[in-house]
């Protein structure tokens, strides 16, 4: 097994460490040193909210399509429940106690070798598009990336074309246009499935009509305050969940547009595409667990190769 292949498998295995059931990447004869890699991490995307993991709601049409022709891992667990530590583990293959990012807002030390630095040393072009400042320059996540873009704000839809602009996926697709047949590693981090649970207007009623809606707890912090004050009821929680699920539908749509771009550039069948999350989301408000608290949650993981 080549060094690069070993490193890539190490990276894959650390993501899956707690729950791997099967991974047979060696079955392929494709040479790894010439294969481009795209890693997509959705923030706070819990596996059992995706249709391909059996969720009752149709939340993830495009991810399902990719999953149907991919390795779909059933038991993958985050190393921690915060973005910074979890992403640091994904990029370094180290536990938080080893890379030192044990909570958000701690810089990833230069001394740690990242996946992108390894790939760069093998001649890969490296680029990242993130829309979470905690994963930006301020905390040294740009190390090893030739291009590192931070996309601020939320996507905006062009009503004529139906396309979403200012999204990490749109930004990433524009980078692909600049690609000149070089092997590359591209990391996309998307927080459109993160609280607050406020999907664009047209998605808000997708799953909410079967819920007795009390909209006074729409905002994440209002939910926390109401939970602390023991004022939340099941309908409130159901409504928050319906909006989280609607966020997933929206993020999945953006993901689907990106997949179409990959097909347009004839890339989808010639790359390793990894789709996962930094951690899940608890939603057990009524049982004393809220948001990303006190549990390592199962996250989604799809590897298309």
Per-residue three-class SS string for 41-58: EECCCEHHHCHHHCCCCC
Minimum distance, C-beta of residue 104 to Zn ion, in the bound complex (Å): 8
* Residue number with CB closer to Zn ion (101 or 176): 101
Q: Which of 35, 70, 83, 131 binds Zn ion (CB under 5 A)?
A: 83
Nearest of 19, 77, 75, 55 to residue 297 by alpha carbon: 77
Query: Does 143 interact with Zn ion (rule: CB under 5 A)?
Result: no
- Least distance CB 44 / Zn ion (angstroms): 5
Nearer to Zn ion, 87 or 246 (CB): 87
- Residue placing its CB nearer to Zn ion in the complex, 36 or 243: 243
Yes or no: say if 101 and 110 are a contact pair by the CB < 8 Å rule: no
How far is Cα 301 from Cα 160, in angstroms, rounded to an integer?
A: 34
Q: Smallest gap, in angstroms, from Cβ of residue 229 to Zn ion?
A: 26
* Smallest separation (angstroms) from Zn ion to the CB of 139: 13
Residues 258-297 touching Zn ion, rule: CB under 5 A, are 278
The closest residue (CB) to Zn ion is 83
Three-state SS at 146? coil
Alpha helices in the chain (DSSP H): 3-16, 61-67, 83-92, 96-99, 115-121, 168-178, 220-228, 234-264
- Draw the binding track, 29-58, toward Zn ion (x: CB under 5 A; -: no contact): --------------x---------------
d(CA 251, CA 190) in angstroms, rounded, equals: 8
Q: How far is the CB of 279 from Zn ion (least distance, A)?
A: 5
Q: Write down the least CB distance from residue 187 to Zn ion, Å.
A: 14
Rounded CA separation 296/305 (Å): 27
Chain residues in the site for Zn ion (CB under 5 A): 43, 83, 278
């Amino acid at each position: 097994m080549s060094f690069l292949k070993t490193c890539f498998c190490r990276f894959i295995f650390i993501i899956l460490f707690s729950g791997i059931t099967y991974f047979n990447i060696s079955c392929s004869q494709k040479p790894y040193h010439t294969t481009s890699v795209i890693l997509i991490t959705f923030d706070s995307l819990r596996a059992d909210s995706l249709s391909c993991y059996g969720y009752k709601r149709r939340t993830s049409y495009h991810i399902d399509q990719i999953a149907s022709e991919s390795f779909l891992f059933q038991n993958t667990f985050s190393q921690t429940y915060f973005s910074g530590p979890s992403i640091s583990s994904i990029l370094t293959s180290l536990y938080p106690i080893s890379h030192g990012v044990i909570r958000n807002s701690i810089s990833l030390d230069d001394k740690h070798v990242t996946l992108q630095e390894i790939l760069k040393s093998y001649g890969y072009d490296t680029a990242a598009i993130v829309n979470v400042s905690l994963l930006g320059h301020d905390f040294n996540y740009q190390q090893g990336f030739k291009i590192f873009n931070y996309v601020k704000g939320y996507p905006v839809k062009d009503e004529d074309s139906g396309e979403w602009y200012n999204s990490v996926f749109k930004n990433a697709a524009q980078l692909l246009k600049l690609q000149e047949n070089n092997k590359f590693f591209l990391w996309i981090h998307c927080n459109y499935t993160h609280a607050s649970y406020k999907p664009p207007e047209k998605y808000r009623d997708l799953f909410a009509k079967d819920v007795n809606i009390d909209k006074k707890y729409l905002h994440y912090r209002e939910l926390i305050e109401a939970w602390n004050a023991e004022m939340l009821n099941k309908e409130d929680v159901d409504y928050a969940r319906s909006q989280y699920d609607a966020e997933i539908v929206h993020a999945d749509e953006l993901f689907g547009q990106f997949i179409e771009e990959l097909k347009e550039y004839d890339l989808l069948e010639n790359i390793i595409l990894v789709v996962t999350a930094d951690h899940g989301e608890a939603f057990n408000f009524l049982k004393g667990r809220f948001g990303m608290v006190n549990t390592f949650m199962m996250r989604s993981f799809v590897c298309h190769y």
